[in-house]
Amino acid sequence: MIIDIVTIFPEFFDTFLSTSIIKRAIALNQVDIRLHQLRDYSHNKHHNIDDTPYGGGVGMLMTFPPFYDVITKLKTEKSTVIYLSPQGKLFNQKIAKKLAISEHLILLCGHYEGIDARVESLIDMELSIGDYVLTGGEIPAMIISDAVTRLIPDVIHEDSAEEDSLQNGWLKYPQYTKPESYKGFSVPEILLSGHHQKIQEWRKEQQIEKTLVKRRDLIKGIKMTDEEKKILEKIKLAKK
């Protein structure tokens, strides 16, 4: 996969690209993350890429020509162009899974008061990472790149990815490691039993209960099996 990130702060990504899973995925050629300095596409001799908005208003707006030029240069028939904006569709694991099978992503990082609205005619998707406003699209670009890259085959262990929170709608079950007990805080006995089937059943129940308690809003969007429906009803009854 190729991820092209268009930004006026390419140095923002230095540590991100040289750390942990992203670093390894790049080294193994599983993903190629390329940075593009938007100022290189400026039509201004001083490399400015912002100007005052027509009709008045506070702040500066990123101009259209540099984005048009860089998108035209980078985009192919296999590209998905994504504008990172607080007005976009909320990014989630379902979208991450969809993007992970793409061959080429182009992420546009806005800044200042935003981007000239004509850019919207050149994009395929507008995404937000939450209902709040950041100073620029660089952090969202890193979040989306990370979430997508870890889903590329062989970047991380496939079983690990499949058991992540939200991967199949549910939150992940609680996990524990050594020591078995500390200061009166102990690991659930079922996890020490060695009975794999019962452990799996316990984990499924814990997933459903945790989702019900912490993120009840997620349950509407989950396509539940008959077994999961029964477990959910059992938990609801127990809590009455």
Active-site residues: which are they?
86, 113, 150, 164
Tokens matching residue 149: 């890259």
The residue type at 37: Q
d(CA 207, CA 219): 11
Tokens 């997933």 belong to: 207
> Crossing angle, helix 226-239 and helix 196-214, to 10 degrees?
60
Of the CA atoms within 13 Å of residue 178, those in its CB half-sphere come to 0
Q: Of 131, 17, 119, 10, whose CA–CA distance to 69 is shortest?
A: 119
